[in-house]
């Protein structure tokens, strides 16, 4: 079975855990600080075990929770965020998912990001970026949404400079709280903006999916947009003349 099909199966198992069996008290229990620097909840660790079971034969796993998990296949590396937006999940806010990037010879060649709240699945390989649904076999090519009205500004709650600049420029945005998932929706929204230190677990799959979009990374500001006019306008807010 292919890597992407196996990753889809793992996401389906996790989706069933969340929506059929449901969360229990152990999933809310907090454990030690994970490799990514955040405190791991029980659901983070259980989700990680599901992905390890399915994906470890394909290559070494670098997970936000447990760090490096060696594999007998030394030729590939998998960057994994088992639950992207776990605070949302545990708060019953319907915007959380998973992020998986597959690297061969230090190059990302396949990726999957899943919205575990509504079942949206984004996959990309040599055939392009496609979108489908958990439990369905049909995937369609992702195209640009020409009618987007707002962008996404992740981590806006701790912004030191971007929030004020966007406010003054009258640029609308939302801050849903799952960066990898937001990057998966970059072809739909006006832009995705992030202020702060980016971690590999959060961005590798999303960056691979956004290769055809306008991208800027300078200092602690990351911006991606399908719209050149919006991209240039926001970028100019952070570039000194």
What's the domain range around 132? 3-141
pLDDT at 12: 97
Query: 96 and 60 in one domain?
Result: yes
Q: How many domains does the chain have?
A: 2
Query: Cα separation of 87 and 44, whole Å?
Result: 10
Query: 124 and 232 in one domain?
Result: no
Helix, strand, coil percentages, rounded to 5, for the chain: 35, 30, 35
pLDDT at 241: 42
Query: 53 and 30 in one domain?
Result: yes
Query: Cα separation of 78 and 101, whole Å?
Result: 6
Point out the annotated binding site: 64, 81, 83-84
187-216 per-residue burial string, b: 16 or more CB within 10 A, e: under 16: bebbbbbbbeebbebbbbbbbbbbeebbbb
Question: Consecutive sets of 10 residues in the chain, 241 residues long: mean pLDDT of each?
Answer: 93 93 66 55 87 95 86 88 92 95 94 97 97 94 95 91 90 95 97 88 91 91 95 88 42
Query: 166 and 203 in one domain?
Result: yes
Structural domain ending residue among the three candidates 115, 141, 167: 141
pLDDT at 96: 96
Query: 171 and 76 in one domain?
Result: no
Query: 19 and 118 in one domain?
Result: yes
Please enumerate in sequence order all residues whose Cβ is within 8 A of that of 106, keeping only pairs 6 or more positions apart, or say none.
none
Closest CA to 180 of 122, 102, 230: 122
Query: 130 and 11 in one domain?
Result: yes
Point out the annotated binding site for Mg(2+): 64, 81, 83-84
pTM of the model: 0.92
Query: 103 and 178 in one domain?
Result: no
Query: 122 and 207 in one domain?
Result: no
Whether residue 241 lies inside any domain: the answer is: no
Whether residue 146 lies inside any domain: the answer is: no
Query: 100 and 30 in one domain?
Result: yes
The pair of three-digit structure tokens given for residue 6, joined into one six-digit string: 């196996």
Query: 79 and 41 in one domain?
Result: yes
The pair of three-digit structure tokens given for residue 96, joined into one six-digit string: 């959380």
């Amino acid at each position: 079975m292919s890597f992407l099909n196996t990753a889809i199966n793992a996401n389906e198992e996790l989706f069933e855990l969340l929506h059929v069996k449901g969360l229990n008290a152990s999933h809310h229990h907090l454990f030690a600080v994970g490799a990514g620097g955040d405190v791991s909840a029980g659901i983070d660790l259980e989700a990680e075990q599901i992905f390890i079971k399915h994906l470890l034969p394909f290559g070494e796993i670098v997970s936000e929770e447990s760090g490096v998990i060696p594999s007998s296949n030394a030729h590939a590396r998998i960057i994994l965020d088992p639950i992207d937006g776990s605070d949302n999940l545990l708060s019953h806010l319907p915007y959380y998912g998973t992020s998986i990037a597959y690297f061969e010879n230090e190059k990302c060649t396949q990726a999957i990001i899943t919205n575990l709240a509504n079942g949206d699945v984004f996959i990309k390989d040599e055939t392009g970026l496609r979108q489908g649904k958990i439990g369905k076999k049909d995937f369609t090519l992702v195209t640009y949404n020409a009618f987007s009205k707002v962008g996404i500004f992740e981590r806006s709650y701790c912004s030191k400079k971007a929030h004020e600049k966007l406010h003054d420029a009258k640029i609308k945005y939302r801050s849903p709280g799952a960066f990898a998932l937001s990057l998966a929706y970059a072809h739909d929204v006006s832009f995705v903006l992030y202020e702060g230190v980016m971690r590999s677990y959060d961005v590798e799959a999303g960056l691979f999916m956004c290769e055809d979009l306008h991208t800027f990374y300078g200092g602690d500001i990351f911006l991606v947009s399908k719209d050149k006019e919006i991209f240039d306008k926001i970028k100019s807010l952070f570039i000194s003349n």
